[in-house]
Chain A
Amino acid sequence: MKSKGGRLLIVLILVLLMIGVNYFFDKPQVRLKGREEAERFRLYANPSFEKWSGFEFTFLKAFYYTLGLRVYMGKLSEEYLAPPPFAKDPIVRTAEVVTRLCPYYYDIYYIANGYLTWDYGDVETANRLLEKGLEYTPERWIYYLYLGFNHFYFLKDYEKGAMYLVEASEVSGKPQYAHLASKLLYASGRTEVAIGILKGMIENTRDEGWKRGLETRLKALEGIYELEKAVEVFRERFGTLPQNLEELKNAGIIKGIPEDPYGGEFYIDEEGNVRTTSNLTYMD
Chain B
Amino acid sequence: MKRVIELARITVKQAIKERSFYVILIATLLAVLAVPVLYSFTMFEVPRVLAGFALSYTNFAVLILMLFLVMNLSQTDLDRKTLQYVISLPIRRRDYVFGRFLGFVFFACILIFFILAITVPFVALFSRMRPDAPFYIGYYFLYGVFLLIEVALLVAIALLFLSLTSRTIVSMFGVAGCYIVGHTMDEVAEFLRTGTGMNMPVFSKAVIQVVRYIFPNLALFDVKTAFIYGKGMDGMSLFLSLLYGVLYTVIVLLLAVVLFEKKEVY
Contact = CB atoms under 8 A, between A and B. Distances in A.
Interface in A198-214: 206-207, 210
6 contacts: A48-B191, A51-B187, A57-B59, A59-B56, A70-B43, A104-B231
Interface in A30-75: 48, 51-52, 55-60, 63, 67, 70
Given A51-B187, A52-B184, A55-B180, A60 B41 contact: no
A74 to B, nearest CB: 11
Contacts of A107: 42-45
B223 to A, nearest CB: 10
Interface residues of A, number: 22
B183 A56 contact: yes
Interface in B51-69: 52-53, 56, 59-60
A100 to B, nearest CB: 10
Interface string A3-30: 0000000000000000000000000000
Interface in B115-166: 130, 132
Contacts of A57: 56, 59-60
A104 B229 CA distance: 7
B59 A206 contact: no
Interface of B: 41-45, 49, 52-53, 56, 59-60, 130, 132, 179-180, 183-184, 187-188, 191, 218, 222, 224-225, 228-229, 231
A118 interface: no
A215 B184 CA distance: 45
With a 10 A CB-CB cut-off, give which of A52, A70, A111 has the most chain B CB atoms.
A52
A106 B224 contact: no
Given A60-B52, A104-B231, A55 B45 contact: no
Contacts of B41: 67
Contacts of A206: 43-44, 130, 132
A102 interface: yes
Interface in A138-196: none
A262 interface: no
B181 to A, nearest CB: 11
Contacts of A267: none
A110 interface: yes
B interface secondary structure, majority: helix
A264 to B, nearest CB: 29
A58 B186 CA distance: 14
A232 B108 CA distance: 73
Given A48-B187, A56-B56, A111-B43, 11 more contacts: A48-B191, A52-B188, A55-B180, A55-B222, A59-B224, A60-B52, A63-B49, A67-B41, A104-B228, A206-B44, A210-B43
B129 to A, nearest CB: 11
B56 A60 contact: yes
B45 A59 contact: no
A60 B58 CA distance: 12
Contacts of A110: 43-44
Contacts of A106: 44-45
A186 B60 CA distance: 56
B189 to A, nearest CB: 12
A104 to B, nearest CB: 5
Contacts of B231: 104
B143 to A, nearest CB: 11
With a 10 A CB-CB cut-off, give which of B132, B228, B229 has the most chain A CB atoms.
B229
Contact of B52 (A48, A52, A63, A111): A63
With a 10 A CB-CB cut-off, give which of B132, B222, B225, B231 has the most chain A CB atoms.
B225
B43 to A, nearest CB: 5
A224 B57 CA distance: 50
Given A48-B187, A48-B191, A52-B187, A59 B225 contact: yes
Nearest to B222: A56
A67 B45 CA distance: 14
